[in-house]
Amino acid sequence: MTHWRLHPSLWLGLGAGLFFALLALVSLVWTPFPIEEINIGRRFQGPGPVHWLGTDHLGRDMTSLIMAGTFTSFLVSALAVAIGAGIGVPLGLLAASWGGVPEWLVLRFSDFLFAFPAIIVAILITALFGPGAINAVLAIGIFNIPVFARVARGGALSFKTLDFIAAARLAGMGNGEIAFRHLLPNIMSLVIVQGTIQLSLGILAEAGLSYVGLGTQPPATSLGLMLRDAQGVFLIHPWLSVLPGLSIVAIVIALNLAGDGLRDAIDPRLRAESGTYGAA
């Protein structure tokens, strides 16, 4: 395990990522001010001793909004990763262990899903059911499915030819049992790395969707929704846009560093350009 210590960027990324995650979790039980507390009299305040990061156009406390917004952004993105991995990984394993027609179908299905960027799915869902955070979860989640399917299939194929799989087959195991008892544990590290990367892409995608009004809706808040709120006044009060934007950048950099670092630490051979799929 000594090589884990050789990755300062991994620790930096994990540390910063955990810091934001913690900030988000704390917002569930405590924020400096209630996020829905509107006070027009004290709006557009700069950072100060009472409102550490100032107040927005409704006089809401920016520190509290950032904390709660970070939570929503993480939550939406994490649920989308869960959908993507929950459906994509079994599909990828299915394709790798059965081959033939199932594999062909899975590959065509993931090609097909790639034609639907998250924003198109979000547009379709919103046109039908109206806007909401669930739309963003579904849209980003659907987009994540083919990404995880490909990662799982690729990983599983590289293990499929190894002796222990042949041994399992000799012992009488079927495709399904081999896939879930032997292949899945072996590709777990790949899935976790991809999950970290998709988590960061999901946070960017959530911001984009909420910014155009297809995602999180008030009175809840997210980092993207804060940018939408600030849009009308950002030429006069740039601070209201700069702050949530910087938070997004910091979180995404942290998660990307953690993802890259994890990949290098788990398997140095994988130092490649994977994970460059956008999501919005």
Partner 1 sequence: MTLFLVRRLAGFAVTLLVAAAVIFFLLDLLPGNAARFILGMNASPEAVARLHAQLGLDAPAHERFFGWIGGMLSGDFGMSYTQNAPVAQLIAERLAVTLPLTVLAMVLSMAIGLPLGILAARRRGKPTDTGIMLLAQAGIAVPNFWFGMLLTLVFAVGLRWLPTGGFTPWNEDPAAAARGLILPGLALALPQASILARVMRTALIDVQGQDFIRTARAKGMTMGEAVWRHGVRNALLPVLTILGLQFAFLIAGTIIVENVFYLPGLGRLIFTAISERDLILVRGAVIVLIIGVTLTMLLVDLAYGLVDPRLSQGAGR
Tokens of residue 80, six digits: 């989308």
Residue from 17, 69, 208, 261 in contact with partner 1 (CB under 8 A) = 208
Among 212, 220, 233, 265, binds partner 1 (CB under 8 A): 212
Size of the site for partner 1 (CB under 8 A): 45
Report residue 123 as tokens: 């547009």
Q: Binding string to partner 1 for residues 84 to 113, with x set by CB under 8 A, is what?
A: -----------------------x---xx-
| C-alpha dist (Å) from residue 134 to 140, 198, 268 | 10, 17, 37
Residues 114-133 binding partner 1 (CB under 8 A) are 114-120, 123-124, 126-128
Distance of CA 261 to CAs 182, 189, 254, 274, Å?
25, 12, 10, 13
- Torsion region of 100: left, alpha or beta (phi above 0 gives left; psi -120 to 50 gives alpha): left
Given 145, 207, 258, 262, the residue binding partner 1 (CB under 8 A):
207
Does position 159 interact with partner 1 (CB under 8 A)? The reply is no
Q: Rounded to whole angstroms, how far apart are CA atoms 145 and 232?
A: 35
Distance between CA atoms of residues 168 and 162, nearest Å: 10
Stretches 31-39, 68-76, 94-102, 231-239: which one binds partner 1 (CB under 8 A)? 231-239
Closer to partner 1 by CB, 37 or 111: give it: 111
Rounded least distance, CB 109 to partner 1, Å:
10
* 10 CB-near residues (< 8 Å, 6+ apart): 4, 257, 258, 260, 261, 262, 264, 265
Residue ranges that bind partner 1, judged by CB under 8 A: 107, 111-112, 114-120, 123-124, 126-128, 200, 204, 207-208, 211-213, 224, 227, 231, 234-235, 238, 241-242, 245, 248-250, 252-253, 256-257, 272-273, 276-280
